[in-house]
Structure 1
Amino acid sequence: MDVSCAFPTALDSPDNIALAERLGYHRAWVYDTPQQSPDVWMTLALAAERTERIGLGPGVLVPSLRHPMVNAAATATLTALAPGRVAVAFGTGFTGRRAMGYGAIRWSFMDSYIRAYRSLLRGETINWEGAEMRMLHPDGHAPDRPIEVPILISALGPKGNKVANELGDGLFATLQPPEFMPEYSWVAYLEWGSVLDETEQNDSEHARLAAGPGWALSLHGAYEFGGAEAVRALPGGAEWLASVETTPPAQRHLAVHSGHCVELNPADRAAWDAGGSSTLRDVTLTGTREQIRDRLDNYRSLGVTEVVFQPCGPDIQRELERFLEASSS
């Protein structure tokens, strides 16, 4: 199983990707979350200039954020800067849409968008929104078409599985392993967490800073997909809801997703302090080295071929080093 990393796109992400290459990580993915991040393609271009070997890609692109021509042109640019190292993942938009108050994209739109994007990279003329278009880049403005880039698709249910099977080269999964993972030869599975010392407790300051943002996703996801009652059933959930519900309903998504994958927001901290940290090892890839290795062995048995670890906290190098050491032991 390959060991890759991911970063919530930030100004220091190119340097962190260069660090990950030096440490031996297989690939680096960065998030397409414009409401809280620098541009994903600018970040990847800077990373390409600072690296030589590590794979690079957006994980995941949210189609509604850009015209398919824009993503095709950006893909072509990155391919020129990092030939043979680029992969692209698409998703319907968790952070990238819900943090702006939208729901997920329909899979019928995903299907049409990815078909158009692939056709553009092949140099074909497409019809999009009633207009005929193709990539017109002259020599020196993009690599010659066709441009071959593997595409992974983030899917949890049958509609997504169908699109991934028809249009993708692999699966990009997170939050909960879909039962159809064994159908794919390439499965990248995104996880958050931290390697803890043997006697370290779930509620340590290090655990809160390094693994807490990933843990908070269990609350964010429960709220988005199951509503208030799903959150209330979790340790610390009542305290989390009490904090979130002080925000007017029209802006509540801002309170839910503030600090997403980076730090605990006020609601997350209220839940953590109320005992929510007790679930840390259940909902993130957090534990001792032995516990991490056991979890990774289980992921292999489920069909994961590439584990993708997102580090958090003030010492990214320490988190990357400890996870890589634990995963390779």
Structure 2
Amino acid sequence: MDVSVAFPTALSSPDDIALAEELGYARAWVYDTPQQSPDVWMTLALAAERTERIGLGPGVLVPTLRHPMTNAAATATLAALAPGRVAVAFGTGFTGRRAMGYRAIPWSFMDAYIRTYRALLRGEVVEWEGAQMQMLHPDGHAPARPVEVPVLVGALGPKGDAVARELGDGLYVTLAQPEFMPAYSWVPYLAWGTVLDEDEAQDSEHAKVAAGPGWALAYHGAYEFGGPDAVRELAGGDAWMDTVEKAPDGRRHLAVHVGHCVELNDADRAAWDAGGHTMLRDATISGTRNEVRDRLDELAGKGVTEIVFQPCGPDTRRELERFHDAATSR
């Protein structure tokens, strides 16, 4: 299993990616979340200039945020800055859309978007929104077409699986482990957590800041995919839901997603204090060094070929070092 890293795109991400390269991580993915992050492509370009080996890519791009020509041109630019190191993943928009009050995009749109995007990179004339277009970049403005870049598709259900099988070079997954993962030769799995000391409680302050933002996704995901009743079934779920419901109906998505994947928000802290921390090991890859190693072996047995670890908390180096050591030890 390859050991890669992800970052919720921040101003520090280019330096963090250089650190990940130093520590031996295979690839760095950064999020396309404009409501809380700097631009994903600018961040990756800066990372390309500061690294030599590590793979780079957006994980995941949300199609409705940009015209396919814009993403094709940005992909070509990054491929020129980091030859042979670029991969691109697409998703329907968990944070990148829901945090702005939109629902996920339909898979029919994803299918059409990826077809158009890939055709543009091949240098073909395509039709989008009723107009004919082509990448017209002269020499010195982009690599010559075709621009060969692997494309992965983030999917958890049968519709996404169908699109990924036909149009993708791999399957990018998070939050769940679909049964069709073994059908793919490349399966990055995005996960959160922390390596705990042998005698460390799972409600320690370190566990809270380093694994808490990933643990909180159990509530964010339950709310978005199952609604309030699904949240209230979780440990600490009543406290989480009661906090979110203090916000007006039209703004509750803001209360849910503030701090998403970065820090605990008010609802998350309420759930943690109400006993939600008892789910930490189940909701994240958190535990002692051996426990983390066992979890990764379990994921490999289910078809994961690349673990993508997102560190949290104030000490990025410590989290990256300890996780990489656990993931690569035997």
Q: Is TM > 0.5 for Structure 1 vs Structure 2?
A: yes
Q: Which residue of 1 aligns with 2:262?
A: 262
1:172-214 Cα shifts (integer Å, max 9, x gaps)? 0000101000000000000000000011111100000000000
Provide the C-alpha distance between the structure 1 equivalents of 2:301 and 2:138, rounded to a whole number of angstroms. Answer: 47
What is the 5 A alignment of 1:67-216? 67-216=67-216
Provide the C-alpha distance between the structure 1 equivalents of 2:162 and 2:325, rounded to a whole number of angstroms. Answer: 36
Q: Which residue of 1 aligns with 2:8?
A: 8
Q: Kindly, what percent of the aligned residue pairs are identical?
A: 76
Letter paired with 1:81: L
What is the 5 A alignment of 1:16-27? 16-27=16-27
RMSD value over aligned CA atoms? 0.3
Residue 321 in structure 1 maps to residue 316 in structure 2: no
SS in 2 for 1:223: helix
Provide the C-alpha distance between the structure 2 equivalents of 1:164 and 1:135, rounded to a whole number of angstroms. Answer: 24
Provide the C-alpha distance between the structure 2 equivalents of 1:203 and 1:23, rounded to a whole number of angstroms. Answer: 28
Provide the C-alpha distance between the structure 2 equivalents of 1:62 and 1:200, rounded to a whole number of angstroms. Answer: 38
Give the structure-2-normalised TM-score. Answer: 0.99
Q: Which residue of 2 aligns with 1:284?
A: 284
Provide the C-alpha distance between the structure 2 equivalents of 1:296 and 1:272, rounded to a whole number of angstroms. Answer: 25
Q: Which residue of 2 aligns with 1:302?
A: 302
Q: Which residue of 1 aligns with 2:230?
A: 230
Letter paired with 1:6: A
Provide the C-alpha distance between the structure 1 equivalents of 2:175 and 2:251, rounded to a whole number of angstroms. Answer: 25
SS in 2 for 1:191: strand
**Residue 41 of structure 1: how far off its partner (Å):** 0.1
Letter paired with 2:261: C
Provide the C-alpha distance between the structure 2 equivalents of 1:95 and 1:197, rounded to a whole number of angstroms. Answer: 31
1:117-149 Cα shifts (integer Å, max 9, x gaps)? 000000000000000000000100000000000
The runs of at least 4 aligned residues of structure 1 exceeding 2 Å deviation read: none
Matched length: 329
Q: Which residue of 2 aligns with 1:248?
A: 248
Q: Which residue of 2 aligns with 1:219?
A: 219
**Residue 246 of structure 1: how far off its partner (Å):** 0.4
**Residue 161 of structure 1: how far off its partner (Å):** 0.3
Q: Which residue of 1 aligns with 2:41?
A: 41
Provide the C-alpha distance between the structure 2 equivalents of 1:285 and 1:32, rounded to a whole number of angstroms. Answer: 23
Provide the C-alpha distance between the structure 2 equivalents of 1:175 and 1:291, rounded to a whole number of angstroms. Answer: 19
Provide the C-alpha distance between the structure 1 equivalents of 2:234 and 2:198, rounded to a whole number of angstroms. Answer: 26
1:273-323 Cα shifts (integer Å, max 9, x gaps)? 111000000010100011001101101100110000000000000000000
1:248-274 Cα shifts (integer Å, max 9, x gaps)? 000000000000000000000000011
SS in 1 for 2:216: helix
Letter paired with 2:190: L
Provide the C-alpha distance between the structure 2 equivalents of 1:73 and 1:299, rounded to a whole number of angstroms. Answer: 35
Letter paired with 1:10: A
Provide the C-alpha distance between the structure 1 equivalents of 2:68 and 2:176, rounded to a whole number of angstroms. Answer: 28
Q: Which residue of 1 aligns with 2:65?
A: 65
SS in 2 for 1:201: coil
SS in 2 for 1:173: strand
Letter paired with 2:189: Y
Runs of 5+ in structure 2 lacking a partner?
Answer: none
Provide the C-alpha distance between the structure 2 equivalents of 1:288 and 1:202, rounded to a whole number of angstroms. Answer: 10
Letter paired with 1:309: F
Letter paired with 2:225: F
Letter paired with 1:27: R
SS in 2 for 1:235: coil
Provide the C-alpha distance between the structure 1 equivalents of 2:201 and 2:276, rounded to a whole number of angstroms. Answer: 13
